[in-house]
Amino acid sequence: MDIAKVLLLFALVAIGAANREIKPNPYDPRCRSNRPPLQNKPCAHKSFVYVASKKKCAWTCGRGSFVTRTECDGTCRTPVVCNWHHAFETCTRFFPVYYLEKSSGKCVLDVGGCRYYGNNFPTLGECQNTCKAG
């Protein structure tokens, strides 16, 4: 009888842990870099870095954190992403995200988010501040 209770308790804990909301870290460390871009011309290899003081991505000559500007804008959620469509993705786990709804000009909640990329923000405040929205 005691073993059955222990197994039942273990099963309930495992089910609860499996259903717990698991969120990714919304802040990629590459978006915290304070290295200035090196924009020497000519440049054999362009890549991109996030410039936090300007809240934008800039090209750099040599080894930057991102291969493309789109990857940088999407990962660091610059104001450029406010013009992107809200992505509908197939997910195995869902968590809340906020996105700018272009038709209303407001940030709205979507409980079916998969990741914090592009026009998918972890908080209402970040969406409103980035997109200058209501």
Q: Where are the domains of the chain?
A: 24-76, 77-134
| pLDDT mean across residues, the chain | 83
Q: pLDDT tens across 7-46, in order?
A: 544 544 444 444 445 566 888 999 987 777 888 788 888 9
Count helices and strands (H / E) in the chain.
3, 4
Q: How far is CA 47 from CA 12, 23, 27, 78, in A?
A: 49, 29, 20, 17
Nearest alpha-carbon partner for 81 in 56, 108, 118 = 118
Q: pLDDT tens across 75-130, in order?
A: 999 999 999 998 777 777 888 999 999 999 999 999 888 889 999 999 999 999 99
Span 77-134: which CATH code? 4.10.410.10
Taking residues 49-64, report their average pLDDT.
91
pTM of this structure? 0.76
CA 96 to mean position of chain CA atoms = 12
Vertex 28: Cα angle to 22 and 33 (nearest 5): 160
The pLDDT, as a whole number, for residue 36 is 79
